[in-house]
Structure 1
Amino acid sequence: MDAGLFTANNVWMMLCTALVFFMHLGFSLLEIGLTRQKNTINILFKNVFIICVGLLLYYIGGFNLMYPGFEDGDGGFLKFAGFGIDAPANGMTADYAGGGYTWWTDFLFQGMFAATAATIVSGAVAERIKLTSFMVFVVIYVGLVYPIVGAWKWGGGFLDGMGFYDFAGSTLVHGVGGWAALVAIWLLGARIGKFDENGKPQVIAGHNIPLATAGVLILWLGWFGFNGGSVLSADPALTSLTLVTTCLAAAAGGVGAFILSQILYKNFDLTMFLNGILGGLVGITAGADQMSPNDAIAIGAIAGIVIVLAVALVDKLKLDDPVGAVAVHLICGIWGTLAVGIFGAMASMEQFLTQLTGVAIVGAFCLTTSFIILFTIKKTMGLRVSEKEEVEGLDEHEHGMSAYPDYRLNDH
């Protein structure tokens, strides 16, 4: 490969790695903004823990579990290439993306994705999960479940062999996190006061909507790296198309959500607007490189509509999801994956059925594994904090500090 092209590819992938890393700040701000201030430290601690431990786990075994080098006859379900990582002698990626950038850049870019799946769960279980229990779950889920599922497609496994397509992770990242979030909030139960004695949902307002808004805009920016980097090169035509479709879907998702929300509830709900943007981003992620601008707008607008209906459905099922993670990441992730078979260059009934099959397989595996992990934790360590801890706040009981100490002015 030409040295100039190799350098351009590598620099672009490193920039995308930085953008995906920046998304963890976006998730953090979104989660604390949509929850109560008494749990702010707890949420920030979980998010910092996820990125630190996620990277270490991906180094120890996740990368080689996700890219094990499947060969003919392996079955493409499970293989392990060994602990740690060791670059080829030439420092390039071996048999991957045409050796277009270094092995180290590839590891770091893929590692940033690994932690995102657990971050999705963090928001859904906010304000009532035991910190130690959550940490144990993250270690197992990020260390084993995420890379195994990733190997099925991105590592050349059986989903890849059957023609399943997921460009940047509507199912392989957002779905993997979303299924676990669904199981977790079911096992945990709702926060105190979320549903009245008749089962009617009550609003538990977030304490800082400006921070939540900043978080969503940071996530949108980070998605330039999430989807743009998934081109796996600095190819100008494909990269720029991917960024255009990503942005248009986000915009359409936000508009679709706030319009339907206004029609149904007669108010301009900013939180629904914000989640609509995220729904559009999740929806386009599976096929961002396959869509025209018109396709992207349609996918995003439908995702925005889906968000409003999905949030209502989650409430109707008496599930408590403080940040809308199930609606955004799971349900819009499913929609985006199926949309590959409906819109764009790959649209066909055969592709739609392949996408549906892939969604079902990943869903069954993630539901089963997350239930086993979380149910075991619930029966051994316990999942939920005590009523006293929940009412008084996890910051005080789990961390012994407050994100917003009271400052009193001196008399003079």
Structure 2
Amino acid sequence: MDITFLMNSLWVMFSAILVIFMLGGFILLEAGSTRMKNAGHIAGKTIFTFGLSSLVFWAVGYAFIFGSNGNLFIGLSDFFYSGYDIEGLSLSGSVFFLFQLAFAGISITIALGGFAERAKLSVYVLFTLLFAALVYPVVAHWIWGGGWLAEHGKQDFAGSTVVHLTGAMAALAATILLKPRIGKYNKDGSTNNIYGHNQVYTALGVLILWIGWFGFNAGSTLSVDGGFFGFVALNTNLAAGSGAVAALIISWLVLGKSDVPTILNGALAGLVAITASCAFVDTWAAVVIGFIAGILVFYSARFFEKRKIDDPIFALSVHGTAGVWGTLSTGFFATPQLATVGLPGLFYGGGFEQLGVQALGVATSGAYAFGVSFILLLVCKYILKGLRVTEEEEILGLDVSEHGSFGYPELIFSQKDNKMSS
């Protein structure tokens, strides 16, 4: 067997593992950003929904994206993937399948962030089935599976649009339909901060995601040939660092303090933004892209807050706003040497054509993901007789109301013991 085939397979397998391990980062990030009474629920539903989305991707998701038969809108073959090798692909077909499955799992995890602290577990289950079959694969086919946006030369190397914007638009639909958490907004329109219970968890989650992103972006080269994956990894790291620095600066200037959640969101925003362009831009542009993302995420979070859109883990700003900017950025910064898809960007003499294609991709993919997710959530609401737990269950916490257990049992029972002894 060809050594290149084996090395490519090993590299992409390692990258798939890194991407799947990002779920650990999301568990810590989401749990740390919310209250301890929901921590066990967040951890458990993340694992379960990834397992469920894996089965859906195996049955229909992969076929809808990469099916050899079909049209410019959707693939229509290769259902229930059985492990066969893929013609024209210089690595194991099973490894490629697992790598793509990991991306689908990350997108649904982002989408479910919009449900945090108030949705029924049954809603997570049903919506995961529907999103993994009818939302993510369609957008992925348009851009990565030879669909109509691919025909226009849409640039999205590792998924600022396909993974992040798609997930964020589903999260937006959820936040609108679920409405804010109890106690988030007062009758006079003022806002109460509902603080996450553990910033150390949140920071560790971001670090795990940062490391996992090397699999996400550099792994998308699908090859070790020429070592180009190293350049992609370098751009990824530069953008993340730049985003964190920009977020620190803007929070310090506006708030008078270097806000920790903003810094963490800045790093993630830089990672999301560079995901589309990491293989198409020079290193200096990666720094600029990440820096702008770090500023945008700060103002985006304030924008949604003022409009009473309760987004506990900042999915809309980190994955949505930064995903839009990252997708558009190739229309400015893609170089003639690196733009293996589409055309060079505006700053390299390519004019507005590629920027227009990128904007078209953002508008259509975002609208599809939001619109279909909104409809699917209405279907879930009808079938399950509501999306949200009762007021009593929400106040008690989803650990107890949905699972009958505690994420922090020793703390809960020690508090009860103290009350009894007093």
TM-score with structure 1 length normalisation?
Answer: 0.94
- 1:70-118 CA distance string (max 9 Å, x none): 5xxx641123104211344xxx4323xxx21001001100000011111
2:275 equivalent in structure 1? 285
1:390 equivalent in structure 2? 394
2:338 equivalent in structure 1? none
2:359 equivalent in structure 1? 356
1:366 equivalent in structure 2? 369
Q: How many residues align?
A: 401
Among 260, 267, 278, the alignment partner of 2:250 is 260
> 1:64 corresponds to which letter in structure 2?
A
> 1:86 corresponds to which letter in structure 2?
S
Deviation of 1:5 after TM superposition, in Å, equals 1.4
Among 135, 142, 151, the alignment partner of 1:152 is 142
> 2:301 corresponds to which letter in structure 1?
V
Contact 1:278 1:328 in 2 (8 A): yes
In the TM superposition, what are the counterparts of 1:113-128 in structure 2 within 5 Å?
Answer: 113-128=103-118
Instruction: Provide the C-alpha distance between the structure 2 equivalents of 1:41 and 1:280, rounded to a whole number of angstroms.
Output: 29
Instruction: Provide the C-alpha distance between the structure 1 equivalents of 2:325 and 2:168, rounded to a whole number of angstroms.
Output: 13
Among 185, 188, 202, the alignment partner of 1:195 is 185
Deviation of 1:360 after TM superposition, in Å, equals 0.9
> 2:395 corresponds to which letter in structure 1?
V
Instruction: Provide the C-alpha distance between the structure 2 equivalents of 1:256 and 1:237, rounded to a whole number of angstroms.
Output: 30
Contact 2:277 2:326 in 1 (8 A): yes
In the TM superposition, what are the counterparts of 1:232-381 in structure 2 within 5 Å?
Answer: 232-345=222-335, 346-348=344-346, 349-381=352-384
Contact 2:68 2:78 in 1 (8 A): no
Instruction: Provide the C-alpha distance between the structure 2 equivalents of 1:356 and 1:392, rounded to a whole number of angstroms.
Output: 44
Deviation of 1:7 after TM superposition, in Å, equals 1.4
Deviation of 1:288 after TM superposition, in Å, equals 0.4
Contact 1:46 1:122 in 2 (8 A): no
1:33 equivalent in structure 2? 32
Among 65, 68, 76, the alignment partner of 1:80 is 76
CA 1:93–1:79 in structure 2 vs 1: closer, same or farther (change >3 Å)? closer
- 1:196-243 CA distance string (max 9 Å, x none): 222122111111111111000000000000001111111344211100
194-203 or 313-322, which moves further after superposition? 194-203
Instruction: Provide the C-alpha distance between the structure 1 equivalents of 2:206 and 2:257, rounded to a whole number of angstroms.
Output: 20
2:6 equivalent in structure 1? 7
Instruction: Provide the C-alpha distance between the structure 2 equivalents of 1:295 and 1:82, rounded to a whole number of angstroms.
Output: 39
398-407 or 224-233, which moves further after superposition? 398-407
2:164 equivalent in structure 1? 174
Given the alignment of the two structures, is residue 94 of structure 1 paired with residue 90 of structure 2, yes or no?
no
**Secondary structure in structure 2 of the residue aligned to 1:192:** coil
Given the alignment of the two structures, is residue 403 of structure 1 paired with residue 407 of structure 2, yes or no?
yes
Instruction: Provide the C-alpha distance between the structure 1 equivalents of 2:86 and 2:249, rounded to a whole number of angstroms.
Output: 46
**Secondary structure in structure 2 of the residue aligned to 1:342:** helix
1:50 equivalent in structure 2? 49
Instruction: Provide the C-alpha distance between the structure 1 equivalents of 2:226 and 2:32, rounded to a whole number of angstroms.
Output: 37
> 1:396 corresponds to which letter in structure 2?
V
What stretches of structure 1 move > 6 A for 4+ residues in a row?
none
- 1:41-75 CA distance string (max 9 Å, x none): 111121011211111111111111110125xxx64
Instruction: Provide the C-alpha distance between the structure 2 equivalents of 1:112 and 1:23, rounded to a whole number of angstroms.
Output: 9
CA 1:140–1:209 in structure 2 vs 1: closer, same or farther (change >3 Å)? same
191-200 or 18-27, which moves further after superposition? 191-200
- 1:289-341 CA distance string (max 9 Å, x none): 01111000000000000000000001011000001000000110000000010
Deviation of 1:378 after TM superposition, in Å, equals 2.0
**Secondary structure in structure 2 of the residue aligned to 1:135:** helix
TM-score with structure 2 length normalisation?
Answer: 0.92
37-46 or 170-179, which moves further after superposition? 37-46
Instruction: Provide the C-alpha distance between the structure 2 equivalents of 1:201 and 1:357, rounded to a whole number of angstroms.
Output: 35
Contact 2:5 2:91 in 1 (8 A): yes
**Secondary structure in structure 2 of the residue aligned to 1:86:** coil
300-309 or 374-383, which moves further after superposition? 374-383
2:199 equivalent in structure 1? 209
**Secondary structure in structure 2 of the residue aligned to 1:85:** coil
Instruction: Provide the C-alpha distance between the structure 2 equivalents of 1:125 and 1:235, rounded to a whole number of angstroms.
Output: 42
Deviation of 1:149 after TM superposition, in Å, equals 1.2
Instruction: Provide the C-alpha distance between the structure 2 equivalents of 1:298 and 1:50, rounded to a whole number of angstroms.
Output: 35
Unaligned runs of 5+ in 2: 336-343, 347-351
> 2:58 corresponds to which letter in structure 1?
Y
RMSD over aligned CA atoms reads 1.6
Deviation of 1:379 after TM superposition, in Å, equals 3.2
Instruction: Provide the C-alpha distance between the structure 2 equivalents of 1:220 and 1:139, rounded to a whole number of angstroms.
Output: 28
Deviation of 1:403 after TM superposition, in Å, equals 1.0
Contact 2:41 2:407 in 1 (8 A): no
Unaligned runs of 5+ in 1: none
